Structure 1
Amino acid sequence: MIGCSADRGEEETVDQSKAFAFSGVTVIDGRGGEALTNYTVVVRNGLIDAVQPAGTVKLEGVKEINSQGKYLIPGLWDLHAHTFAESAIYDLYLEAGVTTIRDMGCSAECTQQLQQRREISKLDPATGPRMTISGPMIDGDSPYVYAFHHQVSLSTIPDAIDLLTELKVDFVKVRDFLSAEEFYAIVDAADAAGLKIAGHIPTAVPAQDAVRAGMHTVEHEGSLFGGLFLATSAD
């Protein structure tokens, strides 16, 4: 949940451990419904407790924030971020209304820093957005070598998944140059570790087969179309 206004003006600090209410605000619910004009939104213990027309909610013991002329919308997500644990970016995210990010890959050291940052944000949401983290990306015999890529062969896939498990990532990101055999081995190893697969569809794997095997999300249309072309040429 974020608030915004054409006139940024002076921001009001709110103790989120106590009950507070946005009074007279226009609510955009993010589900395609009409804007709710002149509403009161009550927040208790960090959760929305009431969304009702202004004047219909008792606000005893609740800090009231005059929000006339302002808007309240659900917090935004950045579904594909590479923050590399740069601390300055987290304030920028919150200022832009982004309350959750999906970090799609960095080195093992960077992943540990992201985990530390995530714990700080859990304790104080004002310090940065929530995060889901992939850690080092897994690729095969790639011509591109980066610190945040983990190049594997069939024999080293278990070690790669073990590393990601130790780093406490939320999912495994795969890339383009895995062989079909390597991709399916990663899917099986990740599934055994309780991790989902996301990332680029390897060029050796038809898109439909990747999804059927358990590809949870596909990043970038280029990898998707590559897989579709491969599937079409095989038909």
Structure 2
Amino acid sequence: MRRGFLGCLLLLSSTAIATEATPERTIYRHAVLIDGTGAPARPGTSIVVEGERIVAVLPDAQADMRGARVVDLQGRHVIPGLIDTHVHLATPPDADAARKTLRRQLYSGVTAVRSMADDVRSVGELSRQALVGEIPSPDIHYAALMAGPGFFKDPRTIAVTRGRTPGQTPWMQAIDERTDLVLAVAMARGTSADGIKLYADMPGPLLARITAEAHRQGIPVWAHAAVFPAMPADDVAAGMDVISHSCPLAYQASARKPASYHERTPVDEAPFNDGAMPAPITDLFASMAARGIILDATNLVYVRHVEEYARDRKARRRAARPD
């Protein structure tokens, strides 16, 4: 009797192992695939999924249907999952609102988001819930922030470090020339952040030192295009992985450049007035391309200004027309 009982346990164990090793296979058939490469749409496409992984994308006629669950997508279009590269899920933290946002994004086709410096105590828990399937959500990747001491007068830093001192937490660190960067980077990594965001009030040489140490410890560096007094060219020279916001790139061509984050010096528009891209900007893009630096353009931030520009342009055209 005992031997038979052990035999049943072994059989159940081997069955469980086999089940884990063979995830459910699903084939989504008859889709029209737009693959995002610029190639023509591909009708009659099957997408083969095993567990949580897409393992094949191929014509319907080539899909092996045996043993698979089949979902008919006749008349439907499929695109790759979208990535929202710049969100703030917890500034200030509001987990209920964040979960609603994440659900809406997931069901709108967004499969990954990058939370660009928030209260990581909240974002880390949201990330865990997303990872284990407790909430409907895209994958969440988030940053720990570093900035010069002057930045931490910003009231947002109080909201995301509640109960602690802004600038003195592992996810919101004030950095200057005296900072132990080995320890600072290690503390940022200890938050389980996917990257370090460099934000404000830092000179170019300090950016380079932080980036070098972060890369030595195996964590990427993301930064605003202008980290005043550091300019976009300083970001690029430092070798960071992602630069955020396209509009501050124009400071590279401005005659007057802000000396700090709190100095609200407007971008000089004169170098752009003839419609051509100024040499400092084209040189900057060439250097970014050569180094493989990604631009997180976040154009939506400036949509109001774009609309105003479009209205002004139309007004100028009407004024230039002969009566």
TM-score by structure 1 length?
0.78
- Runs of at least 5 residues in structure 1 that lack an aligned partner in the other structure: 1-16
Q: Which moved more, 1:137-146 or 1:17-26?
A: 137-146
Which has the bigger relative contact order, CA under 8 A and spacing at least 6? 1
Match of 1:37 in 2: 43
> How do 1:19-168 and structure 2 match up within 5 A?
19-84=25-90, 86-107=98-119, 111-124=120-133, 127-142=136-151, 144-147=154-157, 148=160, 149-156=172-179, 158=181, 160-168=184-192
**CA contact 2:208–2:237 (8 Å) conserved in 1:** no
Q: Distance in 2 between matches of 1:120 and 1:32?
A: 35
Match of 1:216 in 2: 241
Q: Distance in 1 between matches of 2:106 and 2:242?
A: 25
User: What does the per-residue CA deviation read over 1:14-61, in whole Å, with 9 as the maximum and x for residues that have no partner?
Assistant: xxx411111211111111111111222221232223333334423111
Is the helix fraction higher in 1 or 2? 2
User: What does the per-residue CA deviation read over 1:189-218, in whole Å, with 9 as the maximum and x for residues that have no partner?
Assistant: 323332222121322224223212112211
| Deviation for aligned residue 1:219 | 0.8
Q: Distance in 2 between matches of 1:140 and 1:226?
A: 23
Letter in 1 for 2:100: A
- Runs of at least 5 residues in structure 2 that lack an aligned partner in the other structure: 1-22, 161-171, 258-278, 281-323
Q: Which moved more, 1:165-174 or 1:41-50?
A: 41-50
- Rg comparison, structure with higher value: 2
> SS where residue 127 of structure 1 aligns?
coil
Q: Distance in 2 between matches of 1:22 and 1:126?
A: 24
Runs of 4 or more above 4 Å deviation: none
Letter in 1 for 2:116: M
Q: How many residues align?
A: 213
User: What does the per-residue CA deviation read over 1:108-162, in whole Å, with 9 as the maximum and x for residues that have no partner?
Assistant: xxx1332233233233397211122112343442353422454333224635433
TM-score by structure 2 length?
0.59
Q: Distance in 1 between matches of 2:180 and 2:116?
A: 19
Is the strand fraction higher in 1 or 2? 1
| Deviation for aligned residue 1:98 | 0.2
Taking only the aligned residue pairs, the percentage that are identical comes to 22
Task: Work out whether 1:195 is the aligned partner of 2:219.
Answer: yes
Letter in 2 for 1:197: V
Letter in 2 for 1:42: V
Letter in 1 for 2:196: V
For the structure 1 residues 24 and 168, does the alpha-carbon distance in structure 2 shift closer, same or farther, using more than 3 Å as the test? Answer: same
Q: Distance in 2 between matches of 1:76 and 1:125?
A: 21
**CA contact 1:196–1:216 (8 Å) conserved in 2:** yes
> How do 1:161-176 and structure 2 match up within 5 A?
161-176=185-200
Q: Which moved more, 1:127-136 or 1:88-97?
A: 127-136
Q: Distance in 2 between matches of 1:194 and 1:50?
A: 31
Query: RMSD of the alignment, in Å?
Result: 2.6
Letter in 2 for 1:127: P
Q: Distance in 2 between matches of 1:141 and 1:45?
A: 49
